[in-house]
A and B are shown apart, each in its own frame.
Chain A
Amino acid sequence: MSQHHHHDHDDHSHLSEIELRVRALESLLVEKGYVDPAAIDALVETYEVKVGPRNGAKVVAKAWADPAYREWLRKDATAAIASLGFIGRQGEHLVAVENAPDEHNMVVCTLCSCYPWPVLGLPPVWYKSAPYRSRAVLDPRGVLAEFGVSLPETTHIRVWDSTAEVRYLVIPMRPEGTEGMGEEDLAQLVTRDSMIGTGLALQPEAMR
């Protein structure tokens, strides 16, 4: 698919089949007047530059630092997250699920790739792939092991399969030794995977 063959007899001969296919589709839809190429640029720029897991990290850090916010997040995550400016497509109905010493949450979409875009950005390839989608609901501990996460045998594993338009954000456990840290520093400990449930928050030593 990503093989590149260079020939000089045709301008497009170095393009793969899918590259040609997408190019043909865009030319046609633009020629018909259905699509403005500048809108495509703006959409791509939004998700490459403006939206990403730093948004979710701010939500988590605030939940760790501010008990009133955490309570709001539990009761109405959509509103609590919107209050930080994170709204819109694929985040219309949000639920925050909190990890605890005896319960670990993990999110998957077995049917497609549902993912909370406003707080995490676009999903990584593995999240959309067959190995993760097939096994997350059947063998989550095996999946976690591949991410280097090993939980106590007694920890309850809670998997959320997002089959509707509700999107789930995992609030990882706050690492020990972070007392007194401000929200900005706390947010540095929050990884994308820790908010999907395939990772844990970083230990503060990792930041030194």
Chain B
Amino acid sequence: MNGAQDLGGMMGFGPIQIEQDEPWFHAEWERRAFGLTLAMDATRSWNIDMSRHARESLPPAEYLTSSYYEIWTRGVERLAVAAGLVSDEELRLGQSLAEPAPIKRVLKAEDVPAVLARGGPAERPIEQPARFAVGDRVRTRNIHPRGHTRLPRYARSRIGVVELVHGAHVFPDTNAHGQGEQPEWLYTVCFSGRELWGQDADATLTVSIDAWESYLEPA
């Protein structure tokens, strides 16, 4: 969706706020929000694409005025409600009003190292051959899906060159909506700065995105 998360090329946000000797967390609640998010991910009640979509589909004004861990917190709340694990009323009270829902797994402290080490590899076997090869010219599609997508607006309907072929990866556009992993070939596609931003762009600039095969057509 064309949400507030799709920031590439926007202007007016001001200078980058660089903090010297930045701590990993700026408050205790950030630690808890971070840990809660990862611990709930580990219950397998949703996948990473659903998590991203829950954050990114926040109303733009809310997304842009929330700090990162606030966005994560709102994401977990929405996901837990959507998965039927908690109700809005329970969230408001911070108290359980009904029996817990069945859950696939509860992350134990002793399992944290193994779960983090395993991570969530996104590569999957695929039968059909890759449609594109390194060096091919491709054009990104001009799509504006209402659901989740990882094709940024600034790189839609642009001509680029395939630089890397990564294998087949889980397709976020379906996986975020419970429509299966539907793995597709994933490519790194390079665009010149001028193709993306016009003739005034820095002539030395190249920008790449990682694009799933269905985002691309031959050019």
Summarize B's interface: helix, strand, loop or mixed: mixed
- Check if A23 sits within 8 Å of B29, measured CB to CB: yes
- Quote the shortest CB–CB distance from B35 to chain A (angstroms): 3
Determine whether B58 belongs to the interface, using a CB cutoff of 8 Å to chain A. Answer: no
Cβ-closest chain B residue relative to A133: B7
- Check if A29 sits within 8 Å of B36, measured CB to CB: yes
Q: How many residues of A contact B (CB 8 A)?
A: 79
- Quote the shortest CB–CB distance from A23 to chain B (angstroms): 7
Known A-B contacts A27-B95, A130-B7, A164-B122; the reply to A125 vs B108 at CB < 8 A is: no
Chain B residues, CB < 8 A from A207: none
- Check if B29 sits within 8 Å of A138, measured CB to CB: no
Cβ-closest chain A residue relative to B9: A138
- Check if B95 sits within 8 Å of A28, measured CB to CB: yes
The contact of A137 among B8, B48, B100, B111, by CB within 8 Å, is B8
The contact of A47 among B13, B24, B76, by CB within 8 Å, is B24
Determine whether B17 belongs to the interface, using a CB cutoff of 8 Å to chain A. Answer: yes
- Quote the shortest CB–CB distance from A164 to chain B (angstroms): 4
Known A-B contacts A29-B36, A111-B56; the reply to A130 vs B208 at CB < 8 A is: no
How many chain B residues sit at the interface, stated as a range, is 35 or more
- Check if A126 sits within 8 Å of B205, measured CB to CB: no
- Check if B205 sits within 8 Å of A140, measured CB to CB: yes
Determine whether A129 belongs to the interface, using a CB cutoff of 8 Å to chain B. Answer: yes
The contact of A112 among B55, B123, B169, by CB within 8 Å, is B55
- Check if B24 sits within 8 Å of A48, measured CB to CB: yes
- Check if A159 sits within 8 Å of B7, measured CB to CB: no
- Check if A158 sits within 8 Å of B206, measured CB to CB: yes
Determine whether A179 belongs to the interface, using a CB cutoff of 8 Å to chain B. Answer: no
Known A-B contacts A44-B34, A92-B121, A110-B7; the reply to A162 vs B210 at CB < 8 A is: yes
- Check if A29 sits within 8 Å of B40, measured CB to CB: yes
Determine whether B131 belongs to the interface, using a CB cutoff of 8 Å to chain A. Answer: no
Determine whether A54 belongs to the interface, using a CB cutoff of 8 Å to chain B. Answer: no
Known A-B contacts A23-B94, A27-B94, A40-B36; the reply to A161 vs B24 at CB < 8 A is: no
The contact of B106 among A34, A138, A165, by CB within 8 Å, is A34
Determine whether A95 belongs to the interface, using a CB cutoff of 8 Å to chain B. Answer: yes
- Check if B196 sits within 8 Å of A137, measured CB to CB: yes
Determine whether A26 belongs to the interface, using a CB cutoff of 8 Å to chain B. Answer: yes
CA distance A154 to B34 in the complex (A): 42
The contact of B17 among A27, A43, A129, A154, by CB within 8 Å, is A129
Pick the interface stretch among A55-63, A65-73, A141-149, A169-177: A141-149
* A residues 113-167 touching B (CB-CB < 8 Å): 113, 121-122, 124-126, 128-141, 143, 146-147, 153-166
B195-206 Cβ-contact flags toward A at 8 Å (1 or 0): 011000010111
Known A-B contacts A126-B19, A164-B166; the reply to A28 vs B39 at CB < 8 A is: no
Taking Cβ atoms with an 8 Å cutoff, the residues of B that contact A are 5-11, 13-19, 22, 24-29, 31-36, 38-40, 42-43, 48, 52, 55-56, 64, 67-68, 70, 73, 76-77, 80, 85-86, 90-96, 100-101, 103, 106-113, 116-123, 150-152, 154-155, 164, 166, 169-170, 172, 186, 188, 196-197, 202, 204-212
Q: Nearest 7 A-B pairs (CB), nearest first?
A: A24-B94, A40-B35, A110-B8, A164-B210, A165-B122, A38-B109, A134-B10
